[in-house]
Chains A and B, each alone.
Chain A
């Protein structure tokens, strides 16, 4: 818990992962062990579409947020700026794109 009463996402998420969903998109999955943490994160403005777009430096239209209650998970889908594996790509599997989420508090 931070002094302002917020919780660090890295402390309450069981998994924060990133991976391609096909060569044109990257998907970020936040999985929570506790339902209360899932609901807290889902309700937080820090995980709203506009805020995620700002953190990744992309347009809001290229960001989707998909809650999946059955797995206590929040999925974020981003359009890739470069098709996976093309010259200029830097993460062919898209497995290291969760960094901008690491300092979020909810």
Chain B
């Protein structure tokens, strides 16, 4: 019997404990091995991993590249594949390749097939795609069945066409459909973190509120513990609650640390909006079973009447070059606004006729360059760092802008100037570096969806030792 057949044949349900091992909250940054192995020894009914997030910024969704390195991503994939196959338990992985669009999923699948060949592993793999068709979004937009999630410009056909990739976050429905195909492993494109861990319990009849609440906590592995960390965590779900236990003995899941985790990266600690409903944890109870384990109960689930999909899109903005330099001259530091304005004017003058469509952004560290909000006021520093970001339609232009800015910032004259040898210190040469491509999130919206299966199609692939055959 394959892994999902085995899971479904064990007569599991609310009367019996279901052990879920969350191996990674962001696969590809190095899964700690001792805790993962300790977790496998506890005979989990399935293993889940989250592999991505929108938090890393728009570059990865836009470019189709992974945020994690090839070497460590392969290491982590190999670890969880070997572990799950050795115990014949299902492995579920969500948001493949950082952002979960087609190129991220393809790259992840390539690595998995390579590992299968190297390790002589055989398994049946379900692959769930998460690229949302542009014409569907346009239709929903025309029908007024789309809404922005906050301050993002309204969507139009141009925005939809210009996005490099558009993904939708799949929910429990997609994973349940994949589980019904009886695979050994499920590799999903962009997915809700919770769906990876909640779909199988809900399918087995466990309470959806408890299933989603447990999923919400364990998807970050041992971050809900004191001290928080990235070690695997075991969630044991029963009829009226669940128990959390880090697989690293030095981490404790305490009632306070688990409750505090409800706040993490959430605007509202009490209500969690998912595609298929809303999780309400206002009546959740957190009780210590012992110094390292906490039992949680009381969450409630309200199913949505209209299924929706959160969509994410990233659009190309510019190519980037950056200039790195520092200064400890008090007169430079005192005259920064005038120096920046003067340098901009001189650079624009030099580049007129040679370059256009560029932007220069001064990030002056020491003077509030980290601060998003205008109210923050830092004390006058003794030393500053210039990170001058030059954005242009192509990399050559961006580098030209950075080079000219370097020279004019170095030698800019201003009243009271002492340092006529140069205003800035370079840490290395060349101090202007190519900084890749700049993208921005252009879509962060919710659309109504009447046919989830059409948006998140599933393929089955039988991966076998040294040969891989697509069967459906």
**Which residues of chain A have a CB within 8 Å of any CB of chain B?**
15, 19-27, 29, 31, 54-58, 64, 66, 68, 70-73, 75, 77-94, 96-97, 99-100
A52 and chain B: residue at smallest CB distance:
B375
- Complex contact A90–B286 (CB within 8 A): no
Is B205 among interface residues, defined by CB-CB distance under 8 A?
no
List the 7 shortest-distance A-B pairs measured between CB atoms, nearest first: A57-B375, A85-B57, A57-B374, A24-B150, A86-B440, A71-B259, A71-B260
Is B361 among interface residues, defined by CB-CB distance under 8 A?
yes
- Complex contact A25–B264 (CB within 8 A): no
* Residue from A26, A27, A70, A93 whose CB has the most chain B CB atoms within 10 Å: A70
- Complex contact B372–A85 (CB within 8 A): no
- Complex contact A21–B265 (CB within 8 A): yes
> Given the known A-B contacts A24-B149, A27-B263, are A85 and B440 also in contact in the complex, defined by CB atoms under 8 Å?
yes
- Complex contact B152–A24 (CB within 8 A): yes
Task: Note all chain A residues with C-beta closer than 8 A to B361.
Answer: 87-88
Task: Note all chain A residues with C-beta closer than 8 A to B391.
Answer: 87
- Complex contact A56–B262 (CB within 8 A): no
Contacts A70-B259, A79-B150, A81-B372 given; 12 further ones with Cβ under 8 A?
A19-B265, A20-B265, A29-B263, A58-B374, A66-B267, A70-B262, A73-B263, A85-B57, A87-B317, A87-B438, A97-B371, A99-B378
- How long is the Cα–Cα vector from A78 to B263 in the complex, in angstroms? 14
CB distance from A88 to the nearest CB of B (A): 7
- How long is the Cα–Cα vector from A47 to B440 in the complex, in angstroms? 33
> Given the known A-B contacts A73-B260, A87-B391, are A97 and B58 also in contact in the complex, defined by CB atoms under 8 Å?
no
Is B268 among interface residues, defined by CB-CB distance under 8 A?
yes
Task: Note all chain B residues with C-beta closer than 8 A to A56.
Answer: 373-376
Task: Note all chain A residues with C-beta closer than 8 A to B152.
Answer: 24, 83
Is B359 among interface residues, defined by CB-CB distance under 8 A?
yes
CB distance from B445 to the nearest CB of A (A): 11
> Given the known A-B contacts A21-B266, A24-B151, are A90 and B372 also in contact in the complex, defined by CB atoms under 8 Å?
yes
- Complex contact B151–A68 (CB within 8 A): no
A77 and chain B: residue at smallest CB distance:
B267
> Given the known A-B contacts A57-B373, A87-B438, A90-B372, are A25 and B317 also in contact in the complex, defined by CB atoms under 8 Å?
no
- How long is the Cα–Cα vector from A79 to B150 in the complex, in angstroms? 8
- Complex contact A92–B150 (CB within 8 A): no
11 A–B pairs (Cβ distance < 8 Å), ordered by A = A20-B265, A31-B260, A58-B373, A64-B267, A66-B269, A70-B284, A75-B269, A81-B372, A81-B374, A85-B58, A99-B376
- Complex contact A22–B370 (CB within 8 A): no
A97 and chain B: residue at smallest CB distance:
B372
Q: Mark B359-384, 1 if CB is under 8 A from A, else 0.
A: 10101000001111111101000000
- Complex contact B375–A83 (CB within 8 A): no
Is B318 among interface residues, defined by CB-CB distance under 8 A?
yes
- Complex contact B372–A82 (CB within 8 A): yes
Task: Note all chain A residues with C-beta closer than 8 A to B268.
Answer: 66
- Complex contact B256–A71 (CB within 8 A): yes
- Complex contact B259–A20 (CB within 8 A): no
Is B426 among interface residues, defined by CB-CB distance under 8 A?
no
- Complex contact B439–A85 (CB within 8 A): yes
- How long is the Cα–Cα vector from A29 to B257 in the complex, in angstroms? 13
- Complex contact B58–A91 (CB within 8 A): no
Among A15, A87, A97, the residue within 8 A (CB) of B440 is A87
* Residue from A29, A71, A78 whose CB has the most chain B CB atoms within 10 Å: A71
B284 and chain A: residue at smallest CB distance:
A70
Task: Note all chain B residues with C-beta closer than 8 A to A25.
Answer: 150, 267
CB distance from B211 to the nearest CB of A (A): 20
- How long is the Cα–Cα vector from A97 to B374 in the complex, in angstroms? 11
CB distance from A62 to the nearest CB of B (A): 9
- Complex contact B263–A92 (CB within 8 A): no
- How long is the Cα–Cα vector from A64 to B150 in the complex, in angstroms? 14
Task: Note all chain B residues with C-beta closer than 8 A to A66.
Answer: 267-269
B283-311 contacts to A, CB under 8 A, are: 284, 286
- How long is the Cα–Cα vector from A21 to B267 in the complex, in angstroms? 6
- How long is the Cα–Cα vector from A19 to B372 in the complex, in angstroms? 12
Is B55 among interface residues, defined by CB-CB distance under 8 A?
yes
A100 and chain B: residue at smallest CB distance:
B376
Is B59 among interface residues, defined by CB-CB distance under 8 A?
yes
B311-352 contacts to A, CB under 8 A, are: 317-318
Among B259, B260, B363, B441, the residue within 8 A (CB) of A85 is B441
- How long is the Cα–Cα vector from A90 to B318 in the complex, in angstroms? 17
- How long is the Cα–Cα vector from A66 to B281 in the complex, in angstroms? 14
Task: Note all chain B residues with C-beta closer than 8 A to A20.
Answer: 55, 265
Among A22, A24, A81, A86, the residue within 8 A (CB) of B373 is A81
Among A27, A79, A80, A83, the residue within 8 A (CB) of B265 is A27
Task: Note all chain A residues with C-beta closer than 8 A to B371.
Answer: 90-91, 96-97, 99-100
> Given the known A-B contacts A23-B54, A57-B373, are A71 and B317 also in contact in the complex, defined by CB atoms under 8 Å?
no
- How long is the Cα–Cα vector from A55 to B439 in the complex, in angstroms? 31
> Given the known A-B contacts A22-B54, A70-B286, are A89 and B372 also in contact in the complex, defined by CB atoms under 8 Å?
yes
Q: Mark B381-410, 1 if CB is under 8 A from A, else 0.
A: 000000001010000000000000000000
Is B46 among interface residues, defined by CB-CB distance under 8 A?
no
- How long is the Cα–Cα vector from A55 to B406 in the complex, in angstroms? 35
Is B270 among interface residues, defined by CB-CB distance under 8 A?
yes
- Complex contact B440–A68 (CB within 8 A): no
Q: Mark B417-456, 1 if CB is under 8 A from A, else 0.
A: 0000000000000000000001111001000000000000
